[in-house]
Each structure stands twice: as structure tokens, then as C-alpha cells.
Structure 1
Amino acid sequence: MTTLFTRIIDGEIPGRFVWADDVAVAFTTIAPITDGHTLVVPRAEIVELTQAPDDVLAHLTRVARTIGQAQQAAWSAPRVALLVAGFEVPHLHLHVLPAWDESSLTFANARHDVPAEDLDAAAGRVRSALRDAGHGAHVPAALDSPAI
């Protein structure tokens, strides 16, 4: 069965894309714990972390680090958090988010009432920081498209 994330990648459901390459995409979540909270997702439907081939997992981690560096630049965050849970969607995804302290790093703090324009602005900040860092080749041409 096609996952929710595959439907986002395929353009059936809207997404706010900040990264795209042949192996992975990254888009901001609609329920961020902190501004700029981004999901790094393999294009292949891999159910969870332990099922990922080594090369795919290594690639996802490199993309997550790059996204995290952009988040630190965009929000002046002292740290970046990487969370892998995967219970809400059976498609491997890495949560990457700017972080100021450990106590806030819980999905209980996810905000479900963020206005669309604020979500767009946060995605725009990540995209700009990625371009500024020299990763423009992987920033999709349009916010709502995983095509580069």
C-alpha cells in the first residue's frame, strides 16, 4: 500500500519541500515541535530504520546533517535534534529540528495550529539557508514540488 509520504513525494498531497535528490527528499512537517522541523524521507518505501540498506541510511544521515546546519544558520540554534520514531507513518523518516534544550524534544510539544503562512515562511528559511550554504542544486525549484 502506498504510504502518506509517497503520496506527498508523488504530488498527490501537498508538501513544503526543502531538499530533493535521487535517494531522498526533505519537507517540513505540518505539526512542528520547533520552527523549521523537517522530515528527511527516502523516496523508496522503507518501513523503518532497521530495514534501511546501509547506503540509504548513510545518505539520509548526510542529508539530515546538511538540513540541520541550515536550520542552525536560519534560527541561530545551539543544537540540532535528530529523532527517529516512525510510528505515525510506516515510511522511514528522520525528524530534524533546531533545538534549544532537551526538555522540548517531545512529540507532545508538536503544534497542530500553525498557520499555513508561518509553515511556508519556515520552509522558506530552510531553503534559503541551504542555498546560502551552496546546496542550491538540491533545493527544489518550487516549494510544493520535489523536482529539482
Structure 2
Amino acid sequence: MASVFTKIINGEIPSYKIAEDDNFYAFLDINPNAIGHTLCIPKKEVDKIFDLDEETYMGLMAFSRKVAKALEKTVDCKRVGIAVVGLEVPHVHVHLIPLNAMSEMTFQHKVSLTEAEFKALAKKVNAAL
């Protein structure tokens, strides 16, 4: 059965898309730790990051870096943190989290945005790419 992320890639579930290319997709996390919390995923559904072939792994890191640089340009933060946990969804995903405090990296601190705020932020970050 397809993961929730595969359903997002296929357009079966809506998302606030930041970036997309032939192999990867980036979108705003709908339950964000901080404003701008973004997920970067390979379009190829693989459960564990270290099970990716080396080319896909390196491509995901390069894609994530590009998105992180755009986040730094558009979201007020000291830096963009990165995390790969992989327990909630069986599809490799990289969390990019704009940080101003360590608490934003704990996955216990959450922020709320309206649909309009999500859309505006996605558009702004995409423009910075």
C-alpha cells in the first residue's frame, strides 16, 4: 500500500509544495515544529534512509540543501536544522526546521498556521529557489 507521502506526490492528498523535480518533492509540514518546517522526500518510496541507493541518498541531500538555503532566505531564523527520524511514516523524509531555539527541534513544540499562511509561505520559499 502506498505511503501517505506517495499519495501526496501523486496528488491524492493535497500539500503545500515548496519544490519538486523528477526525483524529489518538498512540502511544508502540516504539524510544524516552527514556521517553515519542511519535509523533503524522494519520489521513490523507500522506508529507511540508509536503504536508499547512494545516488538517491546524495541527491536527496543536495535537494534538501537547496530547499534549506531558500528557507534561510525567507524565514526569520538563526539556522535551519535537519533531522531524519523515520518512525512515523515508512517513507524516507528529511525534516528541515528553521531554528531560533533548541526547543523547536524536539518535535514537542508545535506552531499553528492558517491555510492562507501555509500557501503564502510555500509561495515565498518557492520564489527563493
TM-score of the superposed pair, with normalisation by structure 1: 0.82
What's the CA shift string for 1:44-101, capped at 9, x where partnerless? 1110112111111111111111111111111242211011111111000001121123
Point out where structure 2 has 5 or more consecutive residues left out of the alignment. none
What is the aligned partner in structure 2 of residue 17 from structure 1? 17
| Pairwise CA RMSD | 1.2
| 2:118 corresponds to | 119
2:52 aligns to what? 52
Q: Would the aligned equivalents of 2:29 and 2:39 in 1 still touch at CA under 8 Å?
A: yes
Q: Distance in 2 between matches of 1:97 and 1:57?
A: 19
* Secondary structure in structure 1 of the residue aligned to 2:127: helix
Divergent runs of 4+, >4 A: none
Structure 1 CA distance for aligned equivalents of residues 77 and 127 of structure 2: 16
Partner of 1:81: 81
Letter in 2 for 1:31: N
Q: Shift in Å at residue 33 of structure 1?
A: 0.9
Q: RCO greater where, 1 or 2, for CA within 8 Å and sep 6 or more?
A: 1
Q: What secondary structure is seen at the aligned counterpart in 2 of 1:39?
A: strand
User: Which residue in 1 is equivalent to 2:104?
Assistant: 104
Distance 1:8 1:36 in 2: 18
* 2:97–2:105 Cα contact (<8 Å) kept: no
Whole-angstrom distance in 1 between the partners of 2:76 and 2:115: 23
| Matched position secondary structure for 2:108 | helix
Q: Which residue of 2 aligns with 1:29?
A: 29
Q: Distance in 2 between matches of 1:73 and 1:16?
A: 18
| C-alpha deviation, 1:129, in angstroms | 1.2
Aligned residue-pair number: 129
Segments of 5+ residues of structure 1 without an aligned counterpart are 131-148
Percent of aligned pairs with the same residue? 33
